[in-house]
Structure 1
């Protein structure tokens, strides 16, 4: 008979951005970006829903200069609320959410560009919606990446320090030698 040892599995809460530093000055940028984009999407979605248009109607219903239907309005409200959640939480979560949604908006723009005037255009996109999707995607990515990426980040930037932990130790050692 084989003896088996039972190991108690420990549960660890996994977070994707634990290794990233939190900086309160950059946190403001992430929150503002999420809030502004969320506000616009929420307003667009609510205005689209108040027109009582069909859920998958592909007619010429517009809200704020963009073509819409019930499905696109509901989707806009949901994404707007998600961005508001990101604004409330802030920090690295808001930054990562902005970048992720920015990429999804750009991908949506390409997908819906290929579906224009086709049978599968169930979100009733027109070219202005595609351009809007690209613009919102780029803005969300800029707000999300602000202060996190770049070749000329200042040395007091928390993301630069996180990528160069040995530079801080060398600077401290150099300061000790000068005294």
Structure 2
């Protein structure tokens, strides 16, 4: 079993970084949806550049949803953000890798560019790291985890 720290002292910093990532994704999605409104959902011919990334309407809508979910989880906290950040971070990395494989094909349904893939990886790593260091618990949980970590090899 891996050691995941409980009540890590840098948890507030990771929450802020995750909130900033979620805010970026949300703002990107809103501007992207505004710019690409009227186009077909998965349009690959008329892509728009927003905040340094390419988008179509489908990607903009997914970004709005992802941004809202991340921000709500950060706001709620209480380990909801811990679990959601791990999942969302992995999802951003997987989507980045998937779209990197589909870049120059007709299957690039979200209209990704290499920059989109890199940004997806960066956001994924930041959010995933926040999940790893975002777990909270009681003093008893901390003592139990430290005991496991130091005495149970």
TM-score (norm 1): 0.68
In the other structure, the counterpart of 2:53 is 66
Deviation at residue 98 of structure 1 after TM alignment: 1.1
Q: Output one character per residue of 1:58-104: Cα deviation in whole Å (capped at 9) or x when no partner.
A: 13311111010000000000000001110121131112211111111
Residues 15-26 of structure 1 aligned to structure 2 (within 5 Å): 23=7
In the other structure, the counterpart of 1:141 is 128
With over 3 angstroms needed to count, the CA separation of the structure-2 counterparts of 1:160 and 1:71, relative to structure 1, is same
Secondary structure of the structure 2 residue equivalent to 1:62: strand
Deviation at residue 145 of structure 1 after TM alignment: 1.4
With over 3 angstroms needed to count, the CA separation of the structure-2 counterparts of 1:91 and 1:106, relative to structure 1, is same
Equivalent residue in structure 2 for 1:31, among 7, 10, 15: 15
Q: Is the 8 A contact 1:67 1:124 kept in 2?
A: yes
Matching of residue 115 in structure 1 with residue 102 in structure 2: yes
The structure with the largest alpha-carbon Rg is 1
TM-score (norm 2): 0.79
In the other structure, the counterpart of 1:99 is 86
Q: Is the 8 A contact 2:8 2:133 kept in 1?
A: no
Q: Which stretches in structure 2 are left out of the alignment for 5+ residues?
A: none
Aligned-pair Cα RMSD in Å: 2.8
Q: Output one character per residue of 1:142-176: Cα deviation in whole Å (capped at 9) or x when no partner.
A: 2221266xxxxxxxx87652324479xxxxxxxxx
Matching of residue 49 in structure 1 with residue 25 in structure 2: no
Q: Which stretches in structure 1 are left out of the alignment for 5+ residues?
A: 1-19, 149-156, 168-179
Deviation at residue 112 of structure 1 after TM alignment: 0.5
Matching of residue 131 in structure 1 with residue 113 in structure 2: no
